[in-house]
A and B are shown apart, each in its own frame.
Chain A
Amino acid sequence: SYELTQPPSVSVSPGQTVSISCSGDKLGDKYACWYQQKPGQSPVLVIYQDTKRPSGIPERFSGSTSGNTATLTISGTQAMDEGDFYCQAWDSNTVVFGGGTKLTVL
């Protein structure tokens, strides 16, 4: 079965830029999206179709892809950005999530 791999955790200082990676076999041939989940809340879509931002998502969130890796970048990180981030892709009529990355804003 298809797998997406994310780092378990990343940390960043307020105001700095942080990137979260998501790797998978031939991920560059698929579309990736990203969700943010804060404690006790439902996931929220922050990036879809590799690079697109839904309405209402701050411009500091951006997505990119290169080869077999999709990357979520948060510029000028704020304390409110803390939470868990999940990448997701489609493969053979199934949906696959990465294991999640816990973002800590120190």
Chain B
Amino acid sequence: EVQLVESGGGLVNPGGSLRLSCAASGFIFSGSRMNWVRQAPGKGLEWVSSISPSSTYIYYADSMKGRFTISRDNAKNSLYLQMNGLRADDTAVYYCARIPGSVAAQNWYFDLWGRGTLVTVSS
């Protein structure tokens, strides 16, 4: 089955750190650009970060630069998000999402999403 399964969410104190994981299965993970997208409670979707198949090209939303680090391990079919300096406004469901491998940059879209993992930043 083609799927993405996130894990690693939980409750963390402001200023703390958390590492999210996303396990991919059922497709050629090493051929796909992967992303993190988040959604605060009751709010809209917000793109977080993107990583190319070989990890060569990595991009972040401005508000996440310097605090979040995206990475991947193609041998383990896994995507990661290291989050440091967490703030209350980082509280959200974090989704792992795939961009199809054949898609050009100007045409990025997410054709596969995980179910998300909830991160709550609170003391």
Residues of A within 8 A of B (CB): 1, 30-31, 33, 35, 37, 42-45, 48-49, 54, 84, 86, 88, 90, 93-100
Residues of B within 8 A of A (CB): 35, 37, 44-47, 50, 57, 59, 61-62, 95, 105-111, 113-116
- A9 CB, nearest partner CB in chain B, Å: 13
Whether A100 lies near B45 (C-beta < 8 A) is: yes
Residue of A nearest to B96 (CB): A42
Closest 10 CB pairs of A and B: A95-B47, A33-B109, A42-B113, A100-B44, A48-B109, A97-B45, A31-B107, A90-B108, A93-B59, A99-B44
Known A-B contacts A42-B114, A48-B111, A88-B109; the reply to A94 vs B59 at CB < 8 A is yes
A71–B115 Cα distance when bound, in Å, is 27
- B1 CB, nearest partner CB in chain A, Å: 15
A90–B108 Cα distance when bound, in Å, is 6
Whether A86 lies near B45 (C-beta < 8 A) is: yes
Which residues from chain B contact A1 at a C-beta distance below 8 Å?
A: 62
